[in-house]
């Protein structure tokens, strides 16, 4: 009788742990799908474009080696991001919240919105790039001490090279 009670207690105590483990696995699975559709989709697109710009001027043999090596490292880092970010989302959001987010990303209107923003030729990106370029130029000039690049500062005496 005592053995039966002990087994019953162990089962009763173990069930919530198993249920929590199953819920965490479900949360991680939903979070991975979200991360893959959002963050990593953007990263994939950006990396592919940057990689092709990098190898564009290289001889084809070298370009292929760079592509292969860069892609292998990218795939490793991508998996690290997928696992790490998904785990963080699974810890911070409930399963219901994650499924709600998943529904937002699957919404056709949201997908249309994202497609517009992702199109590098869209007017939205032209406007954004122009504004960002102006801001970066402003910061570059500020960092250079208000001196325009390539314009000599005649206020400082010219130093002669040492003999």
Mean pLDDT score of the chain: 83
What 81-85 contacts at long range (C-beta under 8 Å, 24+ apart), as own/partner pairs, is 81/35, 81/39, 81/40, 81/43, 82/32, 82/35, 82/36, 82/40, 83/32, 85/31, 85/35, 85/39
Q: Structural domain of residue 43, as residue ranges?
A: 25-143
Q: Let me know if residue 88 belongs to a domain.
A: yes
Q: Let me know if residue 159 belongs to a domain.
A: no
Per-residue confidence (pLDDT) for residue 69, from 0 to 100: 95
Q: Let me know if residue 113 belongs to a domain.
A: yes
pLDDT digits (tens, 9 = 90+) for 36-64: 988 898 899 889 989 999 999 999 999 99
pLDDT category of residue 162 using cuts at 50, 70 and 90: low
- Looking at the chain, the whole-number percentage of residues with pLDDT higher than 70 is 76
Which pTM value belongs to this model?
Answer: 0.61
When divided into structural domains, the chain yields a total of 1
Q: Let me know if residue 8 belongs to a domain.
A: no
- Looking at the chain, the whole-number percentage of residues with pLDDT higher than 90 is 49
């Amino acid at each position: 009788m005592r053995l039966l009670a002990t087994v019953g207690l162990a089962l009763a105590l173990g069930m919530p742990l198993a249920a929590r483990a199953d819920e965490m696995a479900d949360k991680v699975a939903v979070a991975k799908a979200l991360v893959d559709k959002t963050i990593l989709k953007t990263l994939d697109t950006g990396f592919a474009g940057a990689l092709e710009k990098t190898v564009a001027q290289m001889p084809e043999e070298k370009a292929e080696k760079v592509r292969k090596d860069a892609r292998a490292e990218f795939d490793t880092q991508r998996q690290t991001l997928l696992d790490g970010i998904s785990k963080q989302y699974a810890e911070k959001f409930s399963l219901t919240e994650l499924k709600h987010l998943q529904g937002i990303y699957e919404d056709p209107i949201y997908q249309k919105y994202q497609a517009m923003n992702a199109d590098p030729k869209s007017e939205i990106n032209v406007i954004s790039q122009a504004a960002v370029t102006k801001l970066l130029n402003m910061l570059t000039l500020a960092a250079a001490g208000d001196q325009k690049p390539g314009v000599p500062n005649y206020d400082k005496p010219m130093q002669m090279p040492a003999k």
